[in-house]
């Protein structure tokens, strides 16, 4: 078997920095964990807070702390560090080779989608963000690590895409269709979900968007571990063009 993890992210239109932070860390007893933190609002301040939480969680996971305990500790840490004035949504997706399970841990109102073959289940999270009080507990779900399993985790920029135009992204339908008709790579699924969300926002994401897809596939392996990262680099001209577009949009709104 092979575990595939893919990520696709987009920044809120007109913002130069995403408030979503994501990291992947190897588990000391075997496996991988993906930590995704959605900072409230967007921009620099949201990024600072979400990065603070993610770095705390991955340091605990790397030391062998269990996912739920790491989430609770990160919440208490943020509450103490920011006096309860900062709140973020936190999700952790782990492939634990010691227990041979997938562990889903999240303080996040956006659901996590789990598909086995082409049957999709929606797993609810906890509405309360971390950092606003002590002893906040996450929702934790553990499922077998089996070939044919696909997990989709995302921030609310995806689920809210198109809402200002009276439309929403039906993730279940997209997953069912793609998994029924083909055997897509994890990156293809992540890219498809992100591109459809951006399209629903008419090409101008109304919020930071992040999608994580984990797939467990049955295939021959050469036992080589691989990690591929693609980071688009904007030029000064790109930033200037984006700024001019935002100003033009604001002028049009004021004119109305």
DSSP character string of 4-15:
EEEEEEEPPTT-
In a domain, 231, yes or no: no
β pairing state of 88-96 and 101-107 = antiparallel
pLDDT tens track for 192-202: 999 999 999 99
| Residue 88 maps to a domain | yes
CA distances 97 to 3, 6, 100, 181, Å, are 11, 19, 5, 30
Convert the pLDDT of each residue in 144-153 to its tens digit.
999 999 999 9
Residue 249 covered by a domain? no
- Residue 234 resides in a domain: no
The range of the structural domain enclosing residue 166 comes to 2-10+17-221
Whether the predicted model's global pTM rises above the 0.95 cut? no
21 inside domain: yes
Summarize the confidence of residues 176-183 as an average pLDDT. 86
Q: Crossing angle for the helix pair 67-81 and 44-62, nearest 10 degrees?
A: 140
- Cβ-based neighbours of 196, under 8 Å, separated by 6 or more: 161, 169, 174
Residue 237 binned pLDDT confidence (cut-offs 50, 70, 90): low
- CATH number of domain containing 210: 3.60.40.10
Let me know if residue 190 belongs to a domain. yes
Per-residue pLDDT at 232: 83
In a domain, 42, yes or no: yes
Domain count, the chain: 1
Q: Note whether residue 235 is domain-resident.
A: no
Q: Is the confidence at residue 17, as pLDDT, over 80?
A: yes
């Amino acid at each position: 078997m092979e575990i595939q993890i893919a990520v696709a992210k987009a920044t809120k239109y007109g913002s130069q920095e995403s408030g979503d932070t994501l990291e992947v860390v190897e588990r000391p007893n075997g496996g991988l964990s993906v930590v995704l933190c959605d900072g409230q609002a967007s921009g620099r301040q949201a990024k600072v807070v979400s990065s603070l939480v993610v770095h705390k969680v991955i340091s605990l996971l790397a030391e062998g702390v269990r996912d739920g305990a790491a989430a609770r500790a990160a919440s208490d840490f943020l509450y103490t560090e920011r006096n309860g004035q900062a709140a973020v949504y936190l999700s952790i997706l782990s492939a634990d080779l010691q227990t041979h399970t997938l562990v889903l841990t999240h303080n996040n109102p956006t659901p996590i989608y789990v598909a086995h073959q082409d049957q999709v289940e929606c797993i609810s999270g906890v509405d309360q963000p971390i950092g606003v009080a002590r002893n906040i507990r996450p929702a934790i779900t553990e499922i077998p690590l089996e070939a044919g399993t696909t997990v989709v985790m995302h921030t609310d920029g995806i689920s809210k895409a198109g809402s200002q135009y009276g439309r929403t992204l039906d993730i279940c339908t997209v997953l069912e269709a793609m998994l029924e008709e083909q055997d897509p790579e994890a990156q293809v699924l992540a890219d498809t979900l992100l591109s459809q969300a951006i399209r629903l926002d008419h090409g101008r994401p109304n919020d930071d968007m992040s999608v994580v897809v984990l797939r467990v596939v049955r295939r021959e392996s050469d036992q080589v571990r691989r990690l591929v990262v693609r980071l688009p680099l904007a030029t000064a001209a790109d930033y200037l063009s984006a700024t001019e577009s935002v100003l033009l949009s604001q002028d049009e709104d004021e004119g109305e």
